[in-house]
Structure 1
Amino acid sequence: MAERWNHNIHYHPMILSAVPAGARSALDVGCGEGMLARALRQRVPEVTGVDLDSNSLALAREQGDDVRYVEGDVLTEPLPSFDFIASVATLHHMDATEGLTRFRNLLNPGGTLVVVGVARISSIRDCPPELAGFVAHRVHKARKDFWQHPSPVVWPPPVTYTQMRRLARSLLPGVHYRRHVLWRYSLLWKKPSERTVRADKS
């Protein structure tokens, strides 16, 4: 499984690099077969993976790790709060506002959220990155073993890149939005600590 590659796995190193020092708990939203969850477990003592697809979770549990895998809807499943939350190609499977709000609420003060998602183009400004994506895809696929994951697919994405950027900025003040070449965007947000919130109110 370590040799697999696709457009989502490509961004796992970026996600792992965002794990804050001292994080004690992490949530992988839409964990699928658990590749990212297991990588997170190398850095974080307690990792939970949540997914609706029972077949993918069965494969994840076969790996024999100590990640806690939960079959359920992240929007409604009773979950504790976490120091780090990652969501890869999952947000477009749900209402984006509800999803980002839920992630925000599940995150501990001072914690970090990373979302890698897919969206659709809305204007001619989106075309250059799309074309660059085709070139990058062909280069990577020629050098690596492309893996088509077995989890359910939603296409086309319901939200455009522009809509996602605006939504994220309204729900996650100070979020860092970035458009990536391989048909992905990312959101990086650190939730204000309680000390910061108290200072802002004083």
Structure 2
Amino acid sequence: MPFDHNDHYHRLLLRNLPSPTPPEGPGRSRTVLDIGCGTGRFARLLAARGYEVDALDPSAEVIAKARELGGGPRFRQADVTEEALPEAHYDAVTCLASLHHMPFATVTRLRDALAPGGTLLVLGCYAGTTWWDLVASPANAVARVTVYAAERLRGGYEPPLKPPVRQPDMRLPEIRAEAARLLPGSSVRQLLFWRYLLTYRKPEGTEGN
């Protein structure tokens, strides 16, 4: 069914990003690196709001589809665990439901790609079941049926490309502990639909880590 847990949190992510145009730089757009962009839905949303977007995904198939759809981002097939990222460059780095496909310590590469004062947002997946997930299950069922019915009535439902599936292997307490160790000052907030939001803002006046 077409209800997408990641899409559900796009507005939350946008609220946590800096404005597209910095007040001190008229005519300049803030830069965003979107990791694991898939077919580029969130990357296009960022570009439509005025951000300059680099979007990476290791899958040739989904990057081909993202380029076909266009919309402004610079789409590139790349594995962020091996790719040389520009240091202290991006105003924001986003990573939606893809961190569990790579070592958690990859967040240090994303941190180092942030310009001083930049923001890292990870919408992640966690292993295990919490009491919050008991609330998520019926809400998830209702949302999926509602969205599916609306799409069918509009005649616009098209099955999406299936991304690689990998079950997360870190529970929330482990994620919080590793985030605190690798990204001092970060926060990890549990969300509905088996997701968490990791937020980190790089201190001003710092380069690298």
TM-score by length of 2: 0.83
Q: In the alignment, which residue of structure 2 is the partner of 1:93?
A: 101
Distance 1:102 1:54 in 2: 22
Paired amino acid for 1:15: L
Does structure 2 retain, via aligned residues, the 8 Å contact 1:24–1:45? Answer: yes
C-alpha distance 148-118 of structure 1, shift in aligned 2 (>3 A): farther
Name the residue aligned to 2:10.
12
Query: What is the TM-score normalised by the length of structure 1?
Result: 0.86
Instruction: Give the equivalent residue in structure 1 for 2:48.
Output: 42
Worse-superposed segment, 71-80 or 27-36 = 71-80
How far apart in 2 are the matches of 1:178 and 1:115?
A: 10
Structure 1 counterpart of 2:154: none
Give the Cα–Cα distance (whole angstroms) in 2 for the partners of residues 65 and 79 of structure 1: 23
Corresponding residue for residue 112 of structure 1: 119
Note the alpha carbon deviations across 1:60-86, whole angstroms, 9 max, x for none: 001132311111111221232210111
Distance 1:83 1:27 in 2: 8
Deviations 1:72-116 (A, max 9, x none): 11122123221011101110000101x111111111110011101
Contiguous gaps of at least 5 residues in structure 2: 23-28, 152-158
Contact preservation (8 Å) 1:25, 1:44: no
Determine the structure 2 residue equivalent to 1:136. 139
Q: Say whether residues 1:151 and 2:157 are aligned partners.
A: no
Question: In structure 1, what is the equivalent of residue 57 of structure 2?
Answer: 51
- Change in Cα spacing, 1:149 to 1:183, as seen in structure 2 (3 Å) is farther
Instruction: Give the secondary-structure state (helix, strand or coil) at the position aligned to 2:85.
Output: coil
CA contact (8 A) 2:111 2:202 kept: yes
The CA deviation at 1:148 is: 5.7
- Give 1:200's aligned residue: none
Q: Measure the CA separation in 1 of the matches of 2:141 and 2:196.
A: 19
Gaps of 5+ in 1: 198-202
Deviation per CA, 1:117-152, whole angstroms, max 9, x where unpaired? Answer: 11112xxxx531111110110121121139665111
**Percent of paired sites with the same residue:** 37
* Residues 35-83 of structure 1: per-residue CA shift (max 9 Å, x gap): 0000011234410100001111111001132311111111221232210
Q: Does 2:171 correspond to 1:160?
A: yes
User: 1:193 matched to which residue of 2?
Assistant: 204
- Secondary structure of the structure 2 residue equivalent to 1:144: helix
Between the two proteins, the alignment pairs up a number of residues equal to 187
Alpha-carbon distance between aligned partners in 1 of 2:160 and 2:177, rounded to the nearest angstrom: 31
